[in-house]
Amino acid sequence: MSKIAIVTGASKGIGRACALRLAKDGMTVIVNYSRSDEAANKAVEEIKAAGGSAAAYKADVSDPEQVKTMFKDIADQYGTVDVLVNNAGIVKDEYLLMLTSETLDKCLDLNIKGYLYCAQQAVLKMFRQKSGVIVNMSSVSAKMALAGQSVYSATKGAVNSMTQTMAKELARYGIRVNAVAPGFVMTEMVDQLPEDKKKEYLKAVPMGRFADVSEVADLVSFLCSDESKYITGQSIVLDGGLSL
């Protein structure tokens, strides 16, 4: 039987690429998203056209009730959850003195609380079967100081910390937890940056280019596979040398 994977924020960008890749690896993939119906359905169609199995599920993962309902519906339909990719996240650059409580709440609610809500629900299914994998999407911003990203980088630092703690707590149940920390990846998130910022960031990458989403998906695929079965609690940087 194929494994059941949930990828949050999979209608676009990195999450979409992870969904496509895990489906190619033979998993049945739940494409979670919160607003973009058309994009999510397109991702599902693309997976099915390639011979894979997928379904879209609309839920705001920063809302604990919606998360509970999503995991219950998925468990009712598919029996379990084997893989969770906690990916849905937002970046909202604001210098400290311009920071609003609205931005702060949005970032903490999605980038931190959302990851914990989903992990909690996934683990409730995984620990009974004594196996499971969680991959948390972090960022190189957790370790690199970028002006304007005090909130974003704090949320990604929290992702790295929760990855370690969860890994330690859950190892005894056969559940592995790792994080992927990309540098700049070509998605809407990066595309929306002002041109001068993009040029400046590009100059800072020793490999001279931003990552393709498929390169992040390759690493996620590895961390979800048995090839990484002795790796847990790690945050693996994938940044073309940006943080060196």
| Residue ranges that bind ligand NAP, judged by CB under 6 A | 8-15, 32-36, 60-62, 87-89, 91, 110, 137, 139, 182, 184-185, 187-190
Q: How far is the CB of 110 from ligand NAP (least distance, A)?
A: 5
* Torsional class of 56: left (φ above 0), alpha (ψ -120 to 50), beta (otherwise): beta
Verify whether residue 78 is a known catalytic residue: no
Q: Which is nearer to ligand NAP, 22 or 61 (CB)?
A: 61
Read off the DSSP letter of residue 148: T
Our CB check for ligand NAP shows the closer of 89 and 240 to be 89
Rg (CA), the chain: 17
Distances (CA, A) of 83 to 35, 92, 135, 150, 209: 23, 28, 8, 30, 30
Supply the minimum distance, in Å, between the C-beta of residue 130 and ligand NAP. Answer: 28
Which residue's CB is nearer to ligand NAP, number 128 or number 192?
192
Residue closer to ligand NAP (CB basis): 188 or 226:
188
- Write down the catalytic residue from 152, 173, 201, 230: 152
Cross-sheet strand order for the sheet of 53-58? 53-58, 28-33, 4-7, 83-86, 132-137, 175-182, 235-238
Long-range CB contacts (within 8 A, 24+) of 35-39? 36/11, 36/12, 39/11, 39/12
Quote the least distance from Cβ 219 to ligand NAP, whole Å. Answer: 12
- Nearest to ligand NAP of 133, 180 (CB atom): 180
Query: In whole angstroms, how close is the CB of 87 to ligand NAP at the nearest point?
Result: 5
What token pair was written down for 123? 């683990």
Whether 87 contacts 15, CB under 8 Å: yes
Q: Shortest gap between Cβ of 214 and ligand NAP (angstroms)?
A: 12
Residue 38 CB neighbour total at 10 angstroms: 9
Residue pair 80/123 in contact (Cβ under 8 Å)? The answer is no
Q: Which residues are catalytic?
A: 152
